[in-house]
Amino acid sequence: MVYHYHRFIEQRLQDAHLVHLCNQAQKAGQTTAIFTRSGSETRRISRLLETLKIGAIPLHCDLSLSARAAALDKLRRKECHAIVTTDIAAASLGGDPVPKVDRIINLSLTWKMTPPKYGQRISNVLDDDSGSGQVITFFTQYDVEFYMRLEYYLAVRLAEYAVDDMDVVMSYQEKVEEAILEDPSLRAPNYLWGGSRQLIRLWENNQWLD
């Protein structure tokens, strides 16, 4: 069984929420696949996680087949607990397939996120035989249009993923900010997409399904 969730996050706190969930999974011995919108974002997120002591490997199209195989072998042996990738890189492309993971986090929403793409991510990398596989889709105030479109296509309202302790998330926010001060290239780019207040109100009131 697969459990599907969303997490509506203020953009400035997105990295902190990601670090929090990945740290929880690592402590529990679970693995996570994080899907991003680009190779550059894949590299940024993996470096941020490594900086904050979370074992993560980037998987992008610039990797050679041997480097890809070595990275995936680390995930199989659980020498790292997170893989950061794009849809294209997650496809085998003649190389090793991505090992099945316990949780998928859709970090970045774009217009390309359709039900077939959503389903492909699950079938490619999620261990849905465990009975507890999770798919968590992050979206910010700037992604509401894309998220509404995804829910409309899926014809279902995804359950909200509850965070137990926001104080913990805020403590990770401080660590993220400290890491960015040390290395400004870890700062998230500002993606300003469709996030008007009117769209947010429609989504919150469930009126977009009418």
Write out pLDDT tens, residues 96-119: 678 889 999 999 876 667 777 888
Query: Tell me, what's the pLDDT at 207?
Result: 46
Side-chain half-sphere exposure of 90, counting CA atoms within 13 A: 26
* pTM score of the predicted model: 0.85
What residue ranges do the domains of the chain occupy? Answer: 2-209
Across residues 134-162, what is the average pLDDT? 85
Band of the pLDDT at 78, cuts 50, 70, 90? confident
Q: What is the CATH number of domain 2-209?
A: 3.40.50.300
Lowest mean pLDDT among 6-10, 188-192, 194-198: 194-198
Strand partners, 2: 133
Percentage of residues in the chain having pLDDT higher than 90: 39
Query: Tell me, what's the pLDDT at 93?
Result: 52
**From its phi and psi, is residue 206 left (phi > 0), alpha (psi between -120 and 50) or beta?**
left
Query: Tell me, what's the pLDDT at 130?
Result: 66
Measure CA of the first residue to CA of the last residue in the chain; give whole Å. Answer: 29
Across residues 183-196, what is the average pLDDT? 69
